[in-house]
Amino acid sequence: MNGWWSTRVTAERQYQSWIGSYGSMPGARFTLVEQGADTAWIELRAWPDTKA
């Protein structure tokens, strides 16, 4: 799934909603990213947290 939102608050809410709705599916992974000024993508959050 992909989604684009104009505000981070909306994106955070949708991110949490998708985890709640689809997080029990085998292999599910969710990543919230933001496009920086230099057009590079910056990972803000990931579920499950694979950095731990």
Q: pLDDT of 32-50, one tens digit each?
A: 999 888 889 999 999 998 6
Q: What are phi and psi for residue 47, nearest 5 degrees?
A: -135, 135
By C-alpha distance, which of 51, 5, 8, 4 is closest to 29? 51
Q: What is the pLDDT of residue 52?
A: 53
Domain borders along the chain are: 8-47
Mean pLDDT of 2-26: 93
- What letter would DSSP give residue 43? E
CA–CA separation, 41 vs 5, rounded Å? 15
Rg of the chain over Cα atoms, rounded to whole angstroms, equals: 12
Asked if residue 7 has pLDDT above 70, the reply is yes
Looking at the chain, list the stretches that DSSP marks H as alpha helix, in order from N- to C-terminal side. 8-22
